[in-house]
Amino acid sequence: MIEATIEIWSSKAREYDSYTIYEGNKFLKEFKKTYNTENSNRAMSFARRFVKTMRRNGELENHESVTIKIRS
């Protein structure tokens, strides 16, 4: 069993020469998910799928950044 911690941050844009980096500004939410696998890559894939579904359902906005931590 692998646990994934998904943190949602509001982010602010920081402009550089030809690109933009979005940095976490304020902590908003945290989700802890446990996946029935021993493979950390597979757990990361499940966590990304969870975040993608949240974005699709309108639960996350574009200015919110996501941090995923995998712990076995």
Boundaries of every domain in the chain: 2-71
- With a cut of 90, say whether residue 2 has pLDDT above it: yes
Average pLDDT over residues 38-65: 91
pLDDT digit string (tens) for 4-45?
999 999 888 888 888 888 887 899 999 999 999 999 999 999
Please tell me the predicted confidence (pLDDT) of residue 40. 93
pTM (global) more than 0.85: no
Average pLDDT over residues 44-55: 94
Please tell me the predicted confidence (pLDDT) of residue 42. 94
Are the CB atoms for 4 and 64 separated by under 8 Å?
no
Q: Among 22, 66, 21, which residue's Cα sits nearest to residue 44? A: 66
